[in-house]
Chain A
Amino acid sequence: NAGVTQTPKFQVLKTGQSMTLQCAQDMNHNSMYWYRQDPGMGLRLIYYSASEGTTDKGEVPNGYNVSRLNKREFSLRLESAAPSQTSVYFCASTMRGLLARGGSSSYEQYFGPGTRLTVT
C-alpha cells in the first residue's frame, strides 16, 4: 500500500495563478483532510471530507476549494494564488468518519508527504 500520496511535491506560482493539489489514499479510509502548516502556527485545517460526497470548511478555508472526487481522492484548489498561501500543505486520512462503524475505528490520521508551495 502506498498510504497517502500527494502531488506535486513542490510548486512555485505567481500571484493570481491557479492550481490543484492532488491527494489519494489506498487504505479505504472514510475521512480526508487538507491542512496547511506555517512556522509557529502548527497545522491548521483548511477543509475536510467526513465521507464520500461531503465536504466542510475547517479553520482557514478562505481562498481554497475542495473536491472529494471519490472515496480515494480529495483535491484542493487555489483559484487565485496569493503570497499569503505560501505554505506546506498536508493531506491526511482516517478510518473515522460519518459512515464509519461505531467506536472501534482508530482516530489515527495518516499524512501524505506534503506539497511545498511558494507564491511570488
Chain B
Amino acid sequence: RKEVEQDPGPFNVPEGATVAFNCTYSNSASQSFFWYRQDCRKEPKLLMSVYSSGNEDGRFTAQLNRASQYISLLIRDSKLSDSATYLCVVNPGSSNTGKLIFGQGTTLQVKP
C-alpha cells in the first residue's frame, strides 16, 4: 500500500463548479499535511497547509480527518487558472529531517 494515495483523475469540471479531492495516508503517526499545486512542466509549489481544525484560503478549503486518515481539498467557483495537478503531501513525523511523502497527484482540468 502506498503511503499517500490519491485518485489521479483527471477531474474535468466546468468553470464555476465546486470540486473536491480526497487523499488517504497510511502512517497514523504523520504529523503535518499539505496540498501542493503543480502546473504542467513546472515545479510543485505549496498551496496550503492542512490543520486539524480545517482551514480556508479564499476559494480553497482543506480538511483533515485523523481518525480516518484522510485529507481533503475543496475548490469552490473553479477558474480556468485552477487547472493543474494537486499533490497531497504528508510529513511522516519519524525524524527531524524535513522529509515529505508526496502522493502521485490529482489532475484537474477546468473547462470554459
Could you tell me which A residues sit within 8 Å of B by CB distance?
30-31, 33, 35, 40-43, 45, 48, 50, 56, 58, 90, 94-98, 100, 107-109, 111-114
Binding stretch for chain A, among B12-20, B58-66, B70-78, B94-102:
B94-102
- A108's partner among B43, B46, B104 (CB-CB below 8 A) is B46
- B32's partner among A35, A107, A111 (CB-CB below 8 A) is A107
B97/A107 in contact, CB under 8 A: no
B43/A114 in contact, CB under 8 A: yes
Which residues from A are CB-within-8-Å of B97?
Answer: 31, 48, 50, 56, 96-98
Interface of B is mostly: loop
Interface of A is mostly: loop
| Complex Cα spacing A62 to B110, Å | 39
B45 within 8 A of A: yes
B87 within 8 A of A: yes
**A-B pairs with beta carbons under 8 Å apart, 23 shown:** A30-B98, A40-B8, A40-B104, A42-B102, A42-B105, A43-B102, A50-B96, A50-B98, A58-B99, A90-B43, A96-B98, A98-B96, A98-B97, A100-B96, A100-B98, A107-B32, A107-B100, A108-B46, A109-B46, A111-B43, A111-B44, A114-B42, A114-B43
Which residues from A are CB-within-8-Å of B104?
Answer: 40-42
